[in-house]
Structure 1
Amino acid sequence: MILSISLNSAYQKVLLFDSFKEGWVLRALELYTAPSGKGINVARALRTLGSNVIATGFIGGTNGALILNELKKEKVNSDFVFTKANTRVCTTLINKNNNVFTELIEPSGSISGEELTALKKKLSKQLKKAELVTISGTLPPGVDNSFYCWIIKEAARTGTRVLSDICKEPMKKAVAAKPYLIKMNRDEFTATFGPQNIESKIYTLFKQGISWVIVTDGKERFLAGAQGNVFLVTPPKIKPVNGVGAGDAMLAGVAYGISKGLTPEETLKIGAGVGAASALTLRPAEFETAKLHSLARQVRVKRL
């Protein structure tokens, strides 16, 4: 079983416009909704890939109820702690005229000490049953920057590998606990470690006990390190429909490959393929498996 942890979940709305101008009354052409937040996106993609996955973390209020109901419809298993605070709404505005995406993110509600304790108890039980764990996204108010570090250490008790898609101070603390994989985009990498050569930093992270390092760069080619080797990955060329959730879908693809014991090259092809396939749909981390396989065959992975 793969456990996907979503501490800062969201109810996602996607609005499609013919054009977008500030100060105008804008009427959307289409509306799409979905349970979201990075961890939930990962779980959705893993479910599509056929993995046994459970989404966990925090949800609350009327939006939390919507998330739970829609996850059931999607047949994504979940086991959340319910909070007094209503889960935030994130809204993606897509301008069809120039293919520009704008993301509006509501502030997150605060997590109480009792709610945090309840999640710790739940995770301690869940981690014993998990083969892999994914941790993704920002932390809500009330949750300390060291919480992801606690999860990694708790998972280590049972030998459970942790795949992390976080950045800045939480990532700095997490690295000390040696997650199996860390993933960031280029901007997050710079914000976390400062300006430096990515390839050199990957080798440094290897020495610190990190087995996998992935640093994406949107639709451009990127560097990934796996088990002592560094690879240059060239993703397929696509025209994105909605990039929100594509990085989460990629992490799901990588988690799938690792769980199946695939080679780093095979795993990176699936990861980049899932990410690209997700970007071709309006709902986050949703994709067609046939399109995934087609795109994965177009991914180029070169060992440096």
Structure 2
Amino acid sequence: MIIAAGLSPAWQQILEVTSLETGEVNRCQSAQWASSGKVINVGIAVRHLGTPCETIYPAGGFARELISNELDQLGVSSCVIPQQTPTRVCTTILDRSTGKTTELVENAQPITAEELAAFKKEYLKHLKSAQVVVLTGSLPAGTPSSFYRDLIAETHCPVILDARGPELEAALEEKPFLVKPNHEELERTLMTKLADTEALIKGMQQINQRGATWVVISQGKDTLWATSREHVYRFTPARAEVVNPIACGDSLAAGIAVALHRGKPVPDAIRRGMAAAADNLTQLLPARLSEKRMQTFYDQIEVEQIA
């Protein structure tokens, strides 16, 4: 089983417009609502890839029931921690004339110490059956930056961590198996600019030296890099029609997790994660993956070991 766990779910509105005009009235081609946020996206993606998964998240307000009902309909096994404050609502605007995506992101509301304790209790309960864990998403204001570190310290199986800044730095003490900040997040964590490929790889391997077995940096349609202390891999992504880029990073994490769960070596797991991200890019709703579609993208992805 895979665990997807995180504290920042969202109820997501997805709007398509012919041409976005700021400061004007915009009529939408379509409007969709979906359960989202990193932890939810990972859980949905893993479920669509046919692997058992428990999705653990807090939720409150009107969105709690909406998310829970949709996950039930999708067959996503989940454990929701009741939260006093309402779950955030985020909006994605897809401008079809330019291909640009605009996100209106509400920050996750603070979560109480009692709710964090309940979350950890459920996590530890399900951990007994887990072979891979994905810890993902920003921590709500007031949550200790050591929260992910403390979960990893209790975890006996490989952990994929999608976090940044103080929570990433703290978690490195417990040696997560794979971390996947983006380029900007890595710069924030190291507090330095990584202006070229050489600097990027050196920065990634600094994170390896500080505890992460693998570091993965994705850059959209550009090269993806993966490093360990000894090795450097360059991956050339597949070409895919852009419909909605939301949850591509989450689909990458989910695809890697599923491949590791199936015993694939890390470079191949990353390649499969990239195929999942490419497939997600072609779908309007986030994380609704298909292994059949993914195979086409998988075959296009090029892998080169640099060191």
- After superposition, give the CA deviation of every residue in 1:239-264 in whole Å (9 maximum; x if it has no partner): 31111100100111111111111123
In the aligned structure 1, how far is the partner of 2:211 from the partner of 2:171? 12
- After superposition, give the CA deviation of every residue in 1:30-75 in whole Å (9 maximum; x if it has no partner): 1122111101101111111111101002111210110000000000
Structure 1 residue 227 displacement after superposition = 7.4
- Asked whether the 8 Å contact 1:185–1:218 carries over to 2, the reply is no
- After superposition, give the CA deviation of every residue in 1:84-122 in whole Å (9 maximum; x if it has no partner): 111101110000110110001123222112111211222
In the aligned structure 1, how far is the partner of 2:220 from the partner of 2:15? 22
In the aligned structure 2, how far is the partner of 1:65 from the partner of 1:117? 22
Out of 11-20 and 235-244, give the one that drifted further: 235-244
- 1:1-304 equivalent positions in 2, closer than 5 A: 1-155=1-155, 159-193=156-190, 194-196=192-194, 197-226=199-228, 228-304=230-306
- Asked whether the 8 Å contact 2:255–2:272 carries over to 1, the reply is yes
Structure 1 residue 286 displacement after superposition = 1.8
Partner amino acid, structure 2, of 1:2: I
In the aligned structure 2, how far is the partner of 1:211 from the partner of 1:178? 7
- Give the secondary-structure state (helix, strand or coil) at the position aligned to 1:174: helix
- Asked whether the 8 Å contact 1:6–1:37 carries over to 2, the reply is no
Give TM-score, length-normalised by structure 1.
Answer: 0.95
Structure 1 residue 168 displacement after superposition = 1.0
- Tell me: CA distance 1:227–1:256, structure 2 relative to 1, closer, same or farther (3 Å): farther
In the aligned structure 2, how far is the partner of 1:302 from the partner of 1:226? 14
In the aligned structure 2, how far is the partner of 1:250 from the partner of 1:210? 18
Structure 1 residue 145 displacement after superposition = 1.2
Partner amino acid, structure 1, of 2:260: I
In the aligned structure 1, how far is the partner of 2:220 from the partner of 2:9? 23
In the aligned structure 2, how far is the partner of 1:119 from the partner of 1:176? 22
Out of 183-192 and 107-116, give the one that drifted further: 107-116
- Give the secondary-structure state (helix, strand or coil) at the position aligned to 2:189: helix
Structure 1 residue 294 displacement after superposition = 0.3
Percentage of pairs with the same residue: 32
Give TM-score, length-normalised by structure 2.
Answer: 0.94
- Give the secondary-structure state (helix, strand or coil) at the position aligned to 1:164: strand
- Asked whether the 8 Å contact 1:133–1:161 carries over to 2, the reply is yes
- Tell me: CA distance 1:206–1:105, structure 2 relative to 1, closer, same or farther (3 Å): closer
Partner amino acid, structure 1, of 2:114: E
Structure 1 residue 229 displacement after superposition = 1.9
- Asked whether the 8 Å contact 1:181–1:213 carries over to 2, the reply is yes
Structure 1 residue 83 displacement after superposition = 0.5
- Give the secondary-structure state (helix, strand or coil) at the position aligned to 1:184: coil
Structure 1 stretches of 4+ with a deviation exceeding 6 A read none
In the aligned structure 2, how far is the partner of 1:280 from the partner of 1:107? 27
Q: How many residues align?
A: 301
In the aligned structure 2, how far is the partner of 1:180 from the partner of 1:266? 15
Partner amino acid, structure 2, of 1:251: A
- Asked whether the 8 Å contact 1:269–1:297 carries over to 2, the reply is no
- Tell me: CA distance 1:259–1:228, structure 2 relative to 1, closer, same or farther (3 Å): farther
Partner amino acid, structure 1, of 2:146: S
In the aligned structure 2, how far is the partner of 1:42 from the partner of 1:89? 18
- Asked whether the 8 Å contact 2:45–2:287 carries over to 1, the reply is yes
Q: Structure 2: where are the runs of 5+ without partners?
A: none
